[in-house]
Structure 1
Amino acid sequence: MLGKANIAAQLDQGYKISVIKHNEEVDKNRHVLSKIIDCVKFCGGFELALRGHDETDTSNNPGVFRGLVNLLASLDSVLEEHLKTASVFKGTSKTVQNELLDCMLAVTKDYIMEEVKNASYLAIQADETTDISTHCQLVLVLRYIDPHNNVQERFFEFIPLQNANADTVANALMERLGTILPDGQQGKLIAQAYDGAAVMRGAKGGVQRKVKDVYSNAHYIHCYAHQLNLIMQQATSHITKISAFFSDLGGFAAFFSRSFKRTAILDQVVAHRLPGTSTTRWNFHSCAVNTVYEHKENILKCFKTIRDSGDFDPITVREAGGFVRMMEDEVFCFFLTLFHNIMPHVDMLFSQLQKRDIDSVYIKGLIKRFTSSIQTISATLLQGDLFEQHSQTFPEAALKTTVEAYPLLDKAKLKTELSLVYDTDQFRACSGAVNLLQFFVDNNLQETFTETVSLLKVLVTTPMATAEAERCFSTLKRIKTFLRNSMTQDRLNALAMLSIEKKLISSIPDFNTRVIERFATQKERRAKFLYK
């Protein structure tokens, strides 16, 4: 027992009793704090403002957080007694809120970094935007394969920038990457995906070039969803007649939005609102085209009603008459029918490009050509429908280019393994790199086909789009609103993490206990949270 037990605890009965009382008090305090953490998690997960206009006990508007705490107190006698009698630590102050948010952010980041540490490869997605306070925010998203062989795209943080030039963005990214990938792990970063802006894609002075100078395996990926959007913009703006068609189409929603009286006629006759056209949306003009096509007769009737009713001013009557002639025009009707047939295919491609688990092999079946030779060649090596052809003539050029791009692969061993893969019918049935990787895992073939599995992990980890970064921006705009525009950067990151990664947080074992441990050791506290 020497050195393993506290002598005082063994000999002094009074000390034993004091330890028991202390631990009972710790149990109570931890129970209360866990309930408060649950309230903070709920507010953060549903992007609700924690604080109200007045948080005093007599206030009629204490905020969602205080309302939740009071609701839980009505269901939990221990919490209710604590709120009534607490004099040292009540747990509902804004200081405690901020400290708990910091601890929750730190616990979640530690969990993500532990997953990244165990992953074979890592890719990043980054994009910048301006928040409601006109501050430039750079979002960083990590993509990797978790220990369960699932593709994960994790929000890491919003990084405030003084400006959006290449040096500032690259320095901010490399500063964060230095903490995520310590010395000796630089080769783990195999891809960086951006939206294709000049600052990001510059071949000599762009962000991707500066990052690649430090992380040599970090190949640049131009987001395919952005590329498709650019293609649609070019196709609909450089052909005069098509450009005129979409310009006219955008006038429908604008016409009705300028007057509640016009909107009332639209609701009465069509019973359906007309969406506006936008060149920045993922689905471009698809909603406007489909709505006008599907409700064409009713919309035409609506314009005629406005034109012939005599209840509108001359300008409205003239514009309505112009829309009637437009909708009866053969050229307009032709383009409306044409794009109604085209847009579903574009929408399908957009939806596929925004999935988290897409890979270059899967995209190969959706897009005819790749703009990046590395992605094209790598996808060709493991494209299932080409396995039979490769078994006859091995793709030497593709293998050479792939190994040059990723020196971590053993060329001779990879060629031997791929030759076996090409000759086996079970492998040919797999569609996409994700399914093929899962096949290797399910059949315990990772040790046998080590280089092929490594190549598959590279392909799966490489992001094909930056849709997750765009989703993070949507969350940013919901969290940092006009009425909440003065929140600090740490609080913004914590609330964003609770919202974006709420599924991850709910799956972390003993999340509340980890937060309590960090909260208790953060500084000296009068309330007791640590066991003796």
Structure 2
Amino acid sequence: MLSPEVQNDLLEAAATLLLRNIKSEINNNSAFYAIIADEYKDQAKRELLAVCIRYIHNGIITERAVGFVAIEDMSATAISRKILEVIEPLQLDPSLCVGFSFDGAAVMSGNKGGVQAILKETFPRAVYIHCNSHRLNLVLATVSKSSVHVSTFFETLNSLHSFMTGSSRHARFLEMQKELNPTRQSLELERSTDVRWSSKSGSVKKVLTLLDAVLEVLSEYGDSANSQTRLEAQSLAHQIETKKFIFLLVTFAKLFDITDFATKGLQSPTLSIVDCIDLIESVKESFIGLRDHSQPQNEFGKVLSLTDDLTKKHEITLWDVTTGRARRVPARISESIVMSAIGNRQAVRNDEDLKLLWDEILDRQLAELASRFQDDQYGIMKAAAACRPPTGTFEKALLHPPCQHYGIVIGDAELSVFAQQIKRKVTAGITFPSLMEVLDSCPQDIFPGVNALLRVILTLATTSCTAERIFSTTGRIHTRLRSSMGTSRLCHLTLLCHERELTERLDPDEILKIFCEKPRRLRFV
């Protein structure tokens, strides 16, 4: 009974009971639900697929992992088939599926042959939502390559990280931190990548915090006897010891302070589409405020002042290291007035050039946010805004598109009475921080249509972060000491560990009952 086969069967029985409990939570409430899925490659290079279900249970938005399975074929057809296989034991009503949330990869998001298009054949009313956390990360990744100045800045940060990870250099870097700041805990530099959502922010803020130690270490190794190390240190110091680099360091630290709130907020499993809209719009308004130069104490002036303080502290006088031969004006525009740079990038020589760089970064950020967060094909965002007090209008024209799509009927009398009821509560001082409080004030037996619409809006999944968290759980389980673990065992352990709250409430007798139902034969060795 202690053999690996029996252990695996017990884990399978526990995972089966866990899924039965999740199934009862969904079906007992006849709840709308949304499907979340993402793929992952583990340390053994196996492709794994995580599937989650989002629904409302006891007045709380809930996201549960219902499947973590191996997949060999990464085509859209194979992924769709595997998702359907995972969901099939739950016996969910296809007409109650309101949406999918995947990443923006073509295999998942394609309108014709993508996973979401194939799944719509089974779930005709489901709406595909590109994971909003992934969208915001794409915005930041695009802005980090918005110009040669900016892309060179992030490349320099990564080169600095690589330089400081050498064994002797890393030890000296930690020692230098202790010498300069004995009371502060030693920190590590972070590499900036496009796939880790917080890495760019961490990379910038770590260098800004440790700038004094970084410059001292580069200065020491700039006089090193090793020619290769000396050249690398001198090259990095040459790039960093400029006003342009310090300005970009302070600028992106400020911008990432704003986006970090949205990045963390968009990863919440209880986030509704209304909260998502509020977060993104707040970020946009913050960037518009940063772009405003009309006020005497504008944000650019504050960033420039902090840049000047840092350059004076570290005795940095050079503006930029950018050089380049001036390019001749093409003959076809030789008689025209050229209002912008042509050819090679222009070096930063004064505060006006820094201001132009500041405006360019913010304009690109705002343009990317507007481009990637404008989809409202089914009018769901407008309907959600119309239902949210105190500014909600409850205008039927705004509620009609999603109602028509999901087959929800709201009578004029029902909508009118409910709107008046909410207005009376607002007048009486009752607040509605989110749509969930509005739903709590909307009994299903009295306002069935409005109740259904609110549940649909709240159930729509805005991110696929829950699936990402399953991968983090897998990483904690599938360590180097467990590298030979089989796929089935890994998947069952991951599912039970991720849903620890439900796992702790499983009845051992029920697990053994399921275990005993499986036919088995004794093996003699």
Residue identity opposite 2:173 in structure 1 = L
CA contact (8 A) 1:141 1:156 kept: yes
2:148 matches 1:217: no
Match of 1:231 among 139, 152, 155: 139
Distance 1:167 1:92 in 2: 39
Q: Which runs of 4+ in 1 moved over 4 A?
A: 523-526
Aligned to 1:471: 469
Match of 1:137 among 45, 48, 56: 48
> How far apart, in 1, do the equivalents of 2:49 and 2:69 lie?
5
Counting only pairs closer than 5 Å after superposition, residues 290-439 of structure 1 correspond to structure 2 as 290-308=205-223, 310=224, 312-368=225-281, 369-374=373-378, 375-387=380-392, 390=393, 395-410=395-410, 412=412, 415-421=415-421, 423-426=423-426, 429-439=431-441
Residue 232 of structure 1: how far off its partner (Å) = 0.8
Distance 2:164 2:90 in 1: 52
Which structure: larger Rg? 1
Aligned to 2:18: 108
Displacement of 1:473 in angstroms is: 1.4
Higher deviation after alignment, 461-470 or 475-484 = 475-484
Query: What is the match of residue 495 of structure 2?
Result: 497
Aligned with residue 200 of structure 2, among 282, 285, 289: 285
C-alpha spacing 1:483/1:118, structure 2 compared with 1 (3 Å): same
Shift of residue 385, structure 1, vs aligned partner:
4.3
CA deviation after TM superposition for structure 1 residue 483, in Å: 5.0
Structure 2 CA distance for aligned equivalents of residues 333 and 118 of structure 1: 59
Aligned in 2, Cα 1:97/1:240: closer, same or farther, shift over 3 Å?
A: same
1:497 to partner: Cα distance: 1.8
User: Equivalent residue of 1:366, what SS?
Assistant: helix
User: Which residue, out of 492, 514, 521, partners 1:518?
Assistant: 514
Equivalent residue number for residue 33 of structure 2: 122
Determine helix, strand or coil for the equivalent of 1:289.
Answer: helix
Letter of the 1:229 counterpart: N
Aligned residues: 419
Deviation (angstroms), 1:414:
5.5
Which of 149-158 and 188-197 deviates more? 149-158
Alignment CA distance shift 1:98-1:239 (3 Å): same
Give ranges in structure 1 of 5+ residues lacking alignment. Answer: 1-90, 527-532
Q: CA deviation at 1:421?
A: 4.9
Equivalent residue for 1:75?
none
Unmatched segments (≥5 aa) in structure 2: 178-185, 282-372
Once the two structures are TM-superposed, the CA of residue 194 in structure 1 deviates from its matched residue by: 0.3
What CA deviation, in whole Å up to 9, does each residue of 1:401-433 have, x standing for no partner?
A: 121221134354663355325523439721222
Note the C-alpha offset of 1:135. Answer: 2.6
C-alpha distance in structure 1 between counterparts of 2:397 and 2:204, whole Å? 44
User: Which residue type is aligned with residue 297 of structure 1?
Assistant: D
Are the counterparts in 2 of residues 124 and 192 from structure 1 also a CA contact under 8 Å?
A: yes
Which of the numbers 460, 478, 481 marks the counterpart of 1:480? 478
User: Aligned with 2:10: secondary structure?
Assistant: helix
Q: Letter of the aligned partner of 2:168 in structure 1?
A: K
- 8 Å contact from structure 2 (residues 66, 87) kept in 1: no
1:201-251 CA-partner distances (Å, limit 9, x unpaired): 111221111111221121111100000011111111132211111111111
Shift of 1:451: 2.2
Cα 1:422–1:241 shift into 2, 3 Å? farther
TM-score, length-scaled by structure 2: 0.75
Relative to its length, the structure with more helix (as a share) is 1
CA 325–486 in structure 1, closer or farther in 2 if over 3 Å, else same: closer
2: distance between equivalents of 1:421 and 1:236?
49
Question: 1:491 offset after TM fit, Å?
Answer: 1.8
TM-score, normalisation: structure 1: 0.74
Partner of 2:326: none
Give 1:439 deviation, angstroms: 4.6
Are 1:433 and 1:460, in contact at CA under 8 Å, matched by a contact in 2?
A: yes
Summarize deviations over 1:289-309 as a string: whole Å, max 9, x none.
11111221222122212224x
Does structure 2 conserve the Cα–Cα contact (< 8 Å) formed by 1:399 and 1:415?
A: no
